[in-house]
Amino acid sequence: MSFCRVAPFVVGLCLGALPAPAEEDFGWAYTRSVDPDPSETRLTLIYGGTDPDAAQIIARCGIGAGGPYTGVQLTTDLDEASIGTIVSYEISAGAANLTGAATVLAPGHKDGLVRLAFRLDLESPIWLALSISRRLEYGYSGETLETVSLDGIGRMAMQFRDECAMIGELTEAGGGTGWVRLEESEITTLLTGHDLIYDTGAFQQFLPSGRTFYRAGEASWGYWRVEAGRYCSQWPPGEGWDCYDLEHDGAASLRFIDDWGHISVGRFAE
């Protein structure tokens, strides 16, 4: 029996608090099987070892009455007496934090385990954060249950999200997301606390305080903020702010486009 079972036509992200094999045995994989009938298309994002049934995280895409959406099930050792109640959950990756209410469902196939069920929007900033952060943490009612490495997930998280959103239009040869302009919340999520290395070799760091450090031979300290859907920076002794459109390739690269169409491309530092 599968460790994580999800109803048909529902996107399921199942996070298990089971004892995990050695970390080196675990990894991320994205598989897609596209059918002319969208309801038969299978998109699966998995974190686990060689046995899919024992995977710690499984995300499956499907179609609900209102279109594609994410149904989440988190398996944990919460007391079975809690079945049918509502508890709070939290998921965090990098600067992105997601909290909400989850329903406690009947136990899974292992004694003492229950499932926390909730919905995760495909537009949630957590998807972007998964592609560039180093780890994912999740828990319920203020307790952190598990920390999962995000090494290797890269483009897969964004490809899964974007292909799920357009599941009715996919073709077997499809794939890749191209450059997508970011909204304010997405810019903040992707930049806060992260470092970029530009094609020129320059390095830039974006601190949560709003300070930014830039090194291209000489080092400079400036300020950054997000305003009117754009990334903006100021470099003393200058007082003016320069703003840029910011686009993401769905993996580990960003490009900044100024008012004259000039483009600078940076990649998240390892």
Q: Are both 132 and 36 inside the same structural domain?
A: yes
Handedness of CA 61, 65, 6, 80 (dihedral sign): positive
Token couple for 223: 């300020």
Alpha helices (H) along 133-238: 154-165, 184-191
In a domain, 151, yes or no: yes
Helix (H) or strand (E) holding 31: strand 27-33
Query: What confidence tens digit (pLDDT) does each residue in 47-86 have?
Result: 776 655 556 777 788 788 888 877 777 667 677 667 888 9
At residue 143's C-alpha, the angle toward residues 137 and 144, to 5°, is: 20
Q: Are both 108 and 70 inside the same structural domain?
A: yes
Separation CA 174–CA 188 (nearest Å) = 29
- Exposure string of 207-217, with b = 16+ CB inside 10 Å and e = fewer, is eeeeebebeee
Query: Which of 107, 135, 169 is the last residue before a domain boundary?
Result: 169
In a domain, 5, yes or no: no
In a domain, 175, yes or no: no
Query: What confidence tens digit (pLDDT) does each residue in 108-127 have?
Result: 445 556 667 778 888 888 88
In a domain, 6, yes or no: no
Q: Are both 218 and 239 inside the same structural domain?
A: yes
CATH number of domain containing 241: 2.40.128
Tell me the Ramachandran region of residue 217: left when phi exceeds 0, alpha when psi lies from -120 to 50, beta otherwise.
Answer: left
**Total of domains in the chain:** 2
In a domain, 99, yes or no: yes
CATH number of domain containing 140: 2.60.40
Query: What confidence tens digit (pLDDT) does each residue in 22-56 have?
Result: 444 778 888 877 788 888 888 888 777 665 555 67
In a domain, 2, yes or no: no
What is the domain range of residue 135? 11-169
Per-residue pLDDT at 258: 86
Helix (H) or strand (E) holding 71: strand 70-76
Query: Which of 140, 169, 198 is the last residue before a domain boundary?
Result: 169
Of 34, 85, 41, 92, the residue nearest 63 (C-alpha): 41
